[in-house]
A = this chain, B = another copy of it.
Amino acid sequence: MSQVTIDSNEVDIVIAAFHSDLTSFLEEWRPMFSRFHLIIVQDPDLKEDLKIPKGFNVDIYTKSDIEKLFTSSGVSKFSGYACRFFGYLVSKRKYIISLDDDCSPAKDTNGDLVDIVTQHITNLKTPATPLFFNTLYDPYRKGADFVRGYPFSLRSGVPCVLSCGLWLNLADYDAPTQALKPDLRNSRYVDAVMTIPKYSLMPMSGINIAFDREIVGPAILPALKLTKEGKFRWETMEDIWCGLVVKVVCDHLQLGVKTGIPYVWRNERGSAIDSLKKEWEGVKLVEELVPFFQTLKLSSDAVTAEACVTEIAAAIKKGSHSVLDGAADNIVEWVKIRKEFESRVLG
C-alpha cells in the first residue's frame, strides 16, 4: 500500500445503530477506530438507549436530533439503514467512513486483521484512473505500476472521492439471490483495489464505504427510500440509488471511484425468504434507473456535486414517475438543508 498520513481530525466514522448494545461491535473495531471520531446515529425506530463502551470519542444522534432538523414528519426518511445519512449531514470532517453494525474486521491473506480506516483513506488519498484501464489494478500500490501502453499523459490520474469496500462471508446479494442460494458465501479475498472506469455504473453498497464528504457529500443522501423496504440490506435501494448518482457526478467532474479492498466480515442475518413475498419495486426500478443514468448528460455549468445533483433532480422531474419525483424532491431538500446546516455551523 502507498504510504499515506492520516490526520485523525479529517475522518469521521459513521455507524448506524440498529441494536442498542454496540459493545461487542465496537470492541472488535477498537484497534482501528479508537483514535478517530465516531458519529453513531440511532435508528429512530429503536426505542432503547444505546450501550457504548468507554474509551471512544463519540457523538450520538437520536430521533430527537433528527426531528429538530426535519420535523417529526421527516423522521421516516432516516429510519432503518437510512439513519446513517443523518450522520453524513452532521459530519464536519473531510472524509467519512461508513460501516454497517453487522460487520466484523476481516482477515487478509496473511491472517492479519484488515484496517479498513487506513485502506479506505489510502484509496481516497491516492489518485484514481477512470480514463484508461490498468490491467495490473491500482498502479499506485506498492509493487505495481502502469502497464506498457498506458498513456503517459493519464498517469497522474484524477482525485478519488469514493472508496467502495467489499465483504467476506455474507456478501451483499439481493433478496432473490440470497433466497435462492442461502448457502452462498464469499470466501475469496481478492487482494486488489481498482478504479471503476468512466461511464461504467456499479452497484454501490452502503455496508462498507468511504467518501470525500467535502466533494461528493451532496450526492450521498437518502433520496430514494421505498416505503415498502424493510430493515434488511437485501431489500434496500437507497445506497444503490446513491451509487448511480455519485458515479454520474464523478464521471462528469473527472473524479474517481475505487472498488476492492478493504474487506469486512459480514455476520449472519436471518432468512431472505420473507422478503421474497414483498413486491419488488426496487428491483424493477433499477431496470429503469440504469438506462436513465447511462444516458444522462450534465451541462458544463455543473462544476460541483451540488450543481450536478440539482441538474439530476431537474432531469428526473421532466419524467413522470411518482417514486422518482419524490427522489428529486429529496435531492432539492437535501441540498438546501445541507447548506443551511453548514452556514449554521460556520456562522
Report the contact-size class of chain A (Cβ under 8 Å from the partner): 35 or more
Instruction: Choose the segment among A20-28, A40-48, A73-81, A128-136 that binds chain B (4+ C-beta atoms closer than 8 Å).
Output: A128-136
CB-CB nearest in chain B for A282 = B149
The verdict on A184 contacting B143 (CB below 8 Å), with A171-B136, A198-B200, A200-B132 known, is: yes
* A293-328 vs B, Cβ < 8 Å mask (1 yes, 0 no): 000000000000000000000000000000000000
Within 8 Å CB of A72, what residues of B?
none
Query: What distance in Å separates the Cβ of A173 from its nearest Cβ neighbour in chain B?
Result: 6
The verdict on A203 contacting B147 (CB below 8 Å), with A166-B135, A171-B136 known, is: yes
Within 8 Å CB of A239, what residues of B?
149
Contact of A190 among B133, B191, B203 (CB under 8 A): B191
Q: Do the beta carbons of A171 and B200 come within 8 Å of each other?
A: no
- Is A337 an interface residue when CB atoms closer than 8 A count as contact? no
- Is A344 an interface residue when CB atoms closer than 8 A count as contact? no
* A222-253 vs B, Cβ < 8 Å mask (1 yes, 0 no): 00000000000110110110010000000000
Instruction: Choose the segment among A98-106, A117-125, A150-158 that binds chain B (4+ C-beta atoms closer than 8 Å).
Output: A150-158
Contact of A145 among B181, B191, B259 (CB under 8 A): B181
The verdict on A135 contacting B190 (CB below 8 Å), with A147-B173, A149-B203, A203-B148 known, is: no
Within 8 Å CB of A196, what residues of B?
133, 197
Q: Do the beta carbons of B177 and A145 come within 8 Å of each other?
A: yes
Query: What distance in Å separates the Cβ of A40 from its nearest Cβ neighbour in chain B?
Result: 24
Contact of A135 among B133, B137, B164 (CB under 8 A): B164
- Is A202 an interface residue when CB atoms closer than 8 A count as contact? yes
Query: What distance in Å separates the Cβ of A255 from its nearest Cβ neighbour in chain B?
Result: 16
Q: Do the beta carbons of A146 and B202 come within 8 Å of each other?
A: no
CB-CB nearest in chain B for A180 = B145
Q: Do the beta carbons of B148 and A172 come within 8 Å of each other?
A: yes
* A278-304 vs B, Cβ < 8 Å mask (1 yes, 0 no): 000001001100100000000000000
Cα distance, A146 to B201, chains bound together (Å): 14
- Is A9 an interface residue when CB atoms closer than 8 A count as contact? no
* A181-204 vs B, Cβ < 8 Å mask (1 yes, 0 no): 100111110111000111111111
- Is A109 an interface residue when CB atoms closer than 8 A count as contact? yes
Within 8 Å CB of A290, what residues of B?
132, 151, 154
The verdict on A135 contacting B286 (CB below 8 Å), with A148-B174, A149-B243 known, is: no
Contact of A143 among B151, B188, B243, B286 (CB under 8 A): B188
Cα distance, A128 to B135, chains bound together (Å): 16
Additional 4 contacts, C-beta under 8 A, given A145-B171, A191-B191: A135-B166, A135-B203, A148-B233, A149-B286
* A→B interface (CB under 8 Å): 109, 132-137, 143-154, 164, 166, 171-174, 177, 181, 184-188, 190-192, 196-205, 233-234, 236-237, 239-240, 243, 259, 283, 286-287, 290
A-B contact pairs, 19 of them (CB 8 A): A132-B200, A132-B201, A132-B202, A132-B290, A133-B197, A133-B200, A135-B202, A135-B259, A145-B171, A145-B184, A147-B203, A148-B173, A148-B177, A149-B205, A149-B243, A149-B286, A151-B290, A192-B192, A199-B199
